[in-house]
Amino acid sequence: MIDHSKGSFFGRRVGKPLRAARREIFEAAIGRLQPDLGRPAPADLRDMFASPVDEVWMEIGFGGGEHLLHEAGRLPRTGFIGVEPFVSSLAKTVADIEAAEFGNVRVYGDDAIKLLDWLPEASLDGIYQLYPDPWPKRRHWKRRFVNPVNLDRIARVLRPGTCFRFASDIDTYVEWTLAHLAAHPAFEWTAERAADWLVPWQPWSGTRYEDKAFREGRKGHYLEFRRC
């Protein structure tokens, strides 16, 4: 059995208290939208969704939900599982899901490694991690989500030929990610030209963290790795 108790890959989970109206929406919907990891995962993840879907993607750390919701609206036949442990962001996105009446989105409000370990082997058609916390101090590098053990987890749940997509504006984390993925036998970088990692895959909706990076003069890097 995998021990989930040793550390986490995120910081604080609770910000300001939720407003009463948002808390009411959140409490009414989260039981329906969040997978119950106390039960076995469905053999076919498409069965998790209220709407019929043809494939299933995961977004690890969806923040304000901008990308997750954009993709869910753009691709109604794709199921999305969004992971976000920060309660305020999770509650905001749950309210947006309810308002849009998306039947192709599920959310999980805890550490992504628990969900990855629960999912069946080769059950996902893609994974995003966009602008994660880079944990820039050396003593915190062990908290970076991209590491050999978590790449094993990601490789296990991705179908062969599908992709792990990563975006960041922090050069050291981009270099870290490239080095770790290059060393992992289950992945190959899909870049064909020098500029490929400077241009987001299309269509691209962006995130609030990307907007913040641009305002502060940093540029994004967009990496795609194919599961061999």
Q: Do the Cβ atoms of 177 and 168 come closer than 8 Å?
A: yes
The confidence score (pLDDT) of residue 14 equals: 52
Residue whose C-alpha is closest to residue 70's, from 198, 202, 215: 202
Biggest CA–CA distance in the chain, Å, is 51
- Sorted by where each starts, the structural domains of the chain and their CATH numbers stand as 22-227 (3.40.50.150)
Lookup: tokens for 203: 């269509």
- Whole-structure pTM value: 0.91
Contact 187, 181 (CB under 8 A): yes
pLDDT in tens, 62-121: 999 999 999 999 999 999 999 999 999 999 999 999 999 999 999 999 999 999 999 999
Query: Does residue 192 surpass a pLDDT of 60?
Result: yes
Task: Give the Cα separation of 13 and 33 in Å (integer).
Answer: 19
Contacts with 104 (C-beta within 8 Å, 6 or more apart), sequence order: 49, 50, 51, 53, 72, 75, 76, 77, 78, 79, 80
pLDDT category of residue 34 using cuts at 50, 70 and 90? very high
Q: Please give the share of the chain, as a percent, with pLDDT higher than 90.
A: 84
Of all residues in the chain, the percent with pLDDT exceeding 70 is 93
Active-site residues, by number, are 133
Between the two ends of the chain, the Cα-to-Cα distance in Å is: 26
